[in-house]
Structure 1
């Protein structure tokens, strides 16, 4: 029997690539997005002419009623969600001092509470069937905290911890949990980080933007992440955490190689020292604009 997957945030980027890859792998895929009427164009254009089993559904992970309606719609069609891919996410950045509380709330609502809403909607049926898979897409930023990404990083750290607790809870019920930790992937979100909001009080914003500019000169495709998800779905990749992308493991190992004191101090050296260190430690030639 064909398995069924729900992918959140599927109108672009990693979500879009994942929907197509899963459908081509033979799954029935429900593509959830906030406003299908205006946001489904990319997906419909990508699957036009292909005989893929994809249904587009309205799903706003920020809204519990929307989540419930989406799952009710799936069940009314006679299907149940076997595989949940929590991909929907947003990025906001700035200093902890100057970011409005509303910014932190916005990011946590989408990136952390959104997956929880979907997990709570999916789990009862998974437990009843005695099988299921929940894939939470975090980031290397869920293990590596760096200014000015505090709102985003905090949400991904939280989702990492939640996923680990969830894995403890659902294993006896036949449900598996996997965490995807992408590095810098060529998405609209990554491109947006290249646009620095320069703040003389906090030069880390300019530095992060410059690092992303350099990294995206050799862009890693969203297809890499979609491929990893399909490997997990197919049982070809085991384990809880899955760093994905050419720089994911190097980033994680780079952070692990530094003590907390070294890591904090590194973010507060001069611009020249920062660039020299990044070239030495990570092989990146980053140029800072004034």
Structure 2
């Protein structure tokens, strides 16, 4: 039986990923910052008799990650698969978001991934490190500038890491979901008061697009872990590739102009391109 450590499993794609691995005969270490939020996953574990161990681990803290890792490895052995799923979102214009917002997003979404378990993974036979990014790791637009910056950074780190650890037979993969029906994405669908029109626009776009279930992301991450593939980037969801290709069809200046459209022209463009 292989061991998998998954960060941030209290809800959303992390919870579903833990369940997917548990159903596939992995020993799952379901890490989360606050285990008092583990009621949902504990109920599913009991109902389906899954080999999932809930563990307290805060990816924003070196000490917490090290303590949690040491405890798990000493009891259960080496980590075969690591899934970095921890992520938070802050949306708003660059002017209106606080510096603390920018720092908190980067701390969890980027620096949290640096607190890895590579020394333990090197001791395993088949090893895989999967980092959950986003289509926002490829495309940046307001009001997701802070979030996109953290995901751009995560993808750059993952690309470099893939080349570093391949000689040790450790696979690195990036999962790139689009708009997924999670609590975090649901928060984006709520209009925020702003001097800029972009928050209202994106709220409308997300409200109309929250159809893809988080189980789709979980299934893709499990597939990547079990496939043995060395492919780096893995889009997840029906909207990702069309959105990426649409962005590629524009120059940078055209993309900026699209973002700066009047509301009337912006909504016409979205309807024309995406229905």
Deviates more, 1:166-175 or 1:247-256: 247-256
User: Of 157, 160, 172, which residue of structure 2 is paired with 1:177?
Assistant: 172
| Aligned counterparts of 1:230 and 1:130: Cα–Cα separation in 2 | 18
Cα pair 1:130 1:175 within 8 Å, conserved: no
The alignment status of 1:144 with 2:142, answered yes or no, reads no
Equivalent pairs, count: 275
The 5 Å alignment of 1:1-290 reads: 2-36=1-35, 38-117=36-115, 119=116, 122-129=117-124, 131-200=126-195, 202-216=196-210, 219-235=211-227, 238-283=230-275
Deviation at 1:98, TM superposition (A): 2.0
| Aligned counterparts of 1:22 and 1:130: Cα–Cα separation in 2 | 18
User: In the TM superposition, what whole-angstrom CA distance separates every residue of 1:23-72 from its partner, at most 9, and x where no partner exists?
Assistant: 11110000001111x21101012222222111000010001100001101
Deviation at 1:282, TM superposition (A): 2.0
Cα pair 1:14 1:225 within 8 Å, conserved: yes
User: In the TM superposition, what whole-angstrom CA distance separates every residue of 1:207-253 from its partner, at most 9, and x where no partner exists?
Assistant: 1111101112xx10001011101111111655100000111111111
Query: Normalization by structure 1: what TM-score?
Result: 0.92
Cα pair 2:78 2:123 within 8 Å, conserved: no
| Aligned counterparts of 1:30 and 1:182: Cα–Cα separation in 2 | 22
| Aligned counterparts of 1:19 and 1:126: Cα–Cα separation in 2 | 19
- The alignment partner of 1:234 has SS state of helix
| Aligned counterparts of 1:237 and 1:226: Cα–Cα separation in 2 | 17
- The alignment partner of 1:229 has SS state of helix
Moved over 4 A (4+): none
Cα pair 2:128 2:172 within 8 Å, conserved: yes
Cα pair 1:254 1:282 within 8 Å, conserved: no
State the partner residue of 1:288: none
Deviation at 1:168, TM superposition (A): 0.6
Query: Normalization by structure 2: what TM-score?
Result: 0.97
Change (3 A) 1:15 1:24: same
Cα pair 2:84 2:113 within 8 Å, conserved: yes
- Where in structure 2 are there 5+ consecutive unaligned residues? none
Cα pair 2:7 2:32 within 8 Å, conserved: yes
Cα pair 1:135 1:178 within 8 Å, conserved: yes
